[in-house]
Amino acid sequence: MRFLIIRLSSIGDIVHTLPPVSALARTYPGAEIHWVVEARHAVLLGGNPSVHRVVELDTLGWRKRLAAPEVLEEIVRGVLALREDDYDAAIDFQGLYKSAIISRLSRS
């Protein structure tokens, strides 16, 4: 099985999501767990044995530079990164429209 965790930002919220992700890893020991997070917070997940892959997005930066031509390229690269793997389930710890869109774009 392969799970996609969606918890993009807020350092405290990411830290509070770590215990349920660890429990998921213990419950499904053979599963791969991938996590979508804002690029600036990806360092929080580095070296975590429960997380097999971190997908970094810069949605906050994209909103600030929406008119810049390179932003569209960055968004496309982000969507392609989400679609590199097939997910059996996405678990949205964010609970926002933005995270729901990310889940949908991942095809999980």
pLDDT of residue 22: 98
- pLDDT band of residue 67 (cuts 50, 70, 90) is confident
SS3 breakdown of the chain: % helix, strand, coil, rounded to 5?
Answer: 50, 20, 30
- pLDDT band of residue 62 (cuts 50, 70, 90) is confident
pLDDT over 90 at 65, yes or no:
no
Could you tell me the two tokens for 87? 């997910």
Sheet with strand 53-57: strands edge to edge? 53-57, 32-38, 2-6, 89-92
Q: Is-contact 31 62, C-beta < 8 A?
A: no
Per-residue model confidence as pLDDT tens digits over 46-60: 999 999 999 999 988
pLDDT of residue 61: 86
pLDDT over 90 at 68, yes or no:
no
Provide long-range contacts, Cβ within 8 A and 24+ apart, for 79-82.
79/105, 81/55, 81/56, 81/57, 82/4, 82/36, 82/55, 82/106, 82/107
